[in-house]
Structure 1
Amino acid sequence: MDEELKRIFAGYTGHKSEIIPILQDIQDAYGYLPEDALEEVASFTGVSRAHLYGVATFYAQFRFKPRGRKHIMVCTGTACHVSGAEQVLDALERHLGIEEGDVTDDMEYSLESVGCIGCCSLAPCAMVNDEVVSRIKPSRVGKIFPKKS
């Protein structure tokens, strides 16, 4: 077990009721839930890995893949949908060479679609980390999201 997991586990007793906060702390530390960390949590709490996966997959906050340095969340809510969000998502997938839910090999970008980011008047839009990118046109995706050479 690495030092970060030891530090996280030090704040808990290992009771089954602590699974969610432990998983949250692990995700905060690593950016996602690594496989080996889940094995350690199963051992620490005395629950099966299947139970942990059941908990982690039930809550949308947990990820099993790391995020890129620039995490793109394309809004697919109603206003963005009717304004071309699907075409923007398709253009991003082609430009970045990844599918929704994946991360580029250089860990620069990760991509997901979300139901709504609350910026309907800026449709179609996306969040890149904490910044809103508005009125995205598929033809401009390469300029908005440059790839390293």
Structure 2
Amino acid sequence: MLDQSYYETANEIISRYPLEEKSLIPIIQDIQATYRYLPPDLLDYVAKKIGITETKAYSVASFYENFSFEQKGKYVLKICDGTACHVRKSTPVLQYLRQELGLSETKQTTDDLMFTVEVVSCLGACGLAPAMMVNEQVHPKMTPEKAAELLKELRAKEEEGRNDDQN
């Protein structure tokens, strides 16, 4: 069961759109942008609000790969495993990240919700292979060593943010 604030936020998002079926995708895109995932309870709620069945809402949301029903970390690390990246050794980068973060094929997000590691077919950055994205930023010519440095930077940024919050 979600906290009431989730429903209040959903209501605010829903209010921006007409209450009709064609509003489903933009509404759930905004919800996912807010929470970094699409809480299933909110999908049901949106379906009721716009007058469609929960089944219809799930069929739409599950059809598109960019919608996720699983909570993601603050930093989503997408490792490209397309042909160019695979040939240029993206697998060792993936193996390093999973080992360092305690993740696997089935467990993609750290317990502290800081990192999610996903394998993608293509990032469209073949000339930069092997490529990795952190949220919306592409990182070219990745190696396990560069991935280690990147994790170190992201962790330092978080620590800095926590220190600023305490002051």
Normalised TM-score (structure 2): 0.76
1:144 alignment partner AA = L
Q: Which structure 2 residue ranges, 5 or more long, are not aligned?
A: 160-167
Could you tell me how far apart the structure 2 residues matched to 1:29 and 1:137 are? 31
Give the paired residue count.
149
Q: Residues 43 and 76 from structure 1, CA distance in 2 versus in 1: closer, same or farther, beyond 3 angstroms?
A: same
Q: Is the 8 A contact 1:70 1:108 kept in 2?
A: yes
Instruction: Please give the root-mean-square deviation of Cα atoms over the aligned residues, in Å.
Output: 2.3
Report what 2:89 is aligned to: 84
Counterpart in the other structure of 1:103: 109
1:138 maps to 144
Compared CA separation, residues 51 and 99, structure 1 to 2 (3 A): farther
Instruction: Tell me if the contact between 1:65 and 1:102 (Cα under 8 Å) persists in the aligned partners.
Output: no
1:41 and 2:46 matched: yes
Displacement, 1:139?
5.4
Q: In structure 2, what residue type is equivalent to 1:128?
A: V
1:88 is displaced (CA, Å) by 1.9
1:16-95 → structure 2 map (5 Å cutoff): 16-95=21-100
2:134 to 128, 139, 143: 128
Following the alignment from structure 1 to structure 2, what is the Cα–Cα distance between the partners of residues 121 and 26?
A: 34
Percent identity over paired residues: 38
**In 2: Cα distance, 1:49 partner to 1:38 partner:** 8
TM-score (norm 1): 0.84
The whole-number CA distance in structure 1 between the counterparts of 2:92 and 2:113 is 23
* Residue-by-residue CA offset, 1:17-53 (whole Å, 9 max, x unaligned): 2211221121122221112211211211232322211
Inter-partner Cα distance in structure 2 for 1:55 and 1:75: 26
Structure 1 residue 140: Cα displacement: 5.3
